[in-house]
Amino acid sequence: MRIEFQTEGGIAHFPGLSRPVVIEGDALTEEDARELQRLVEAARFFERPTVAGAPRHGAADYRQYTITVEEGGRQRTIRLTDPVEDPSLQQLLRFLQTKARALRRGEGG
């Protein structure tokens, strides 16, 4: 499984942090790879619409997330906007945020 994860916007937006991060399932620990697989399946990622949530009219400074998952010949991109209300998507998002922070710090997946 390969995931490209990007965060954009928000009050404290830093352009350097909006670069996409690639999370390779093969580079994760076995435990993290299993957890990532579980979270993608629990979120029914490949069954979801491509856009989830939208800021209210006139709202500003909402953070947006773009998640692309490639697995077994399938690929799907979903764009989420805060606040993410679906608990399964929240869990997947938290996992990806944690891994993205570690990769940006050079700690690997």
Q: What is the pLDDT of residues 78-90, one digit of tens each?
A: 999 988 989 999 9
92 in a structural domain: yes
pLDDT at 13 over 60: no
Distances in whole angstroms, Cα of residue 12 to Cα of each of 15, 17, 35, 62, 85: 10, 10, 29, 10, 21
- What global pTM score does this model have? 0.85
109 within domain boundaries:
no
Does the residue 29 lie in any domain?
A: yes
Domain that holds residue 74: 2-104
pLDDT score recorded for residue 36: 97
Are 52 and 77 contacting, i.e. CB atoms less than 8 angstroms apart?
A: no
* Number of domains comprising the chain: 1
